[in-house]
Amino acid sequence: MCRLGRTIVFFSTKHSAHRAKILFGLAGLPPAAELHGNMTQAARLESLEKFRKVQIPTEFRSPPHASGAATSCAHSCYILCFL
């Protein structure tokens, strides 16, 4: 992924976003966050905050959480979609 910026990757399902986060970790890549409907509100807010502060440079999202992409990426950010 990007060293200086952040990356948001959209998946068509919650399951796909969660699976990608797990595979990212198993592959030994830098930590990634996930944002989807199966998470508690507290977990969603924590994920967004870590991504906003660039503590975690990559975030996997499902479509209902697509609307927050612009606010999460005030600076350099890559957005990818896998549908």
For 4-62, write each residue's pLDDT tens digit.
Answer: 578 888 888 889 889 999 999 999 998 899 988 888 889 988 988 888 888 888 889 88
Residue appearing with tokens 């068509």: 12
Residue-level pLDDT at 72: 52
Query: What pLDDT sits at residue 4?
Result: 53
The encoded tokens of residue 81 equal 């979609």
- Spacing of C-alpha 82 from chain mean position: 13
Give the pLDDT score at 22: 94
For the domain made up of 6-82, give the CATH fold. Rossmann fold (3.40.50)
pLDDT of residue 5: 72
pLDDT of residue 10: 85
Pinpoint the alpha helices (H) of the chain. Answer: 14-26, 41-52, 69-72
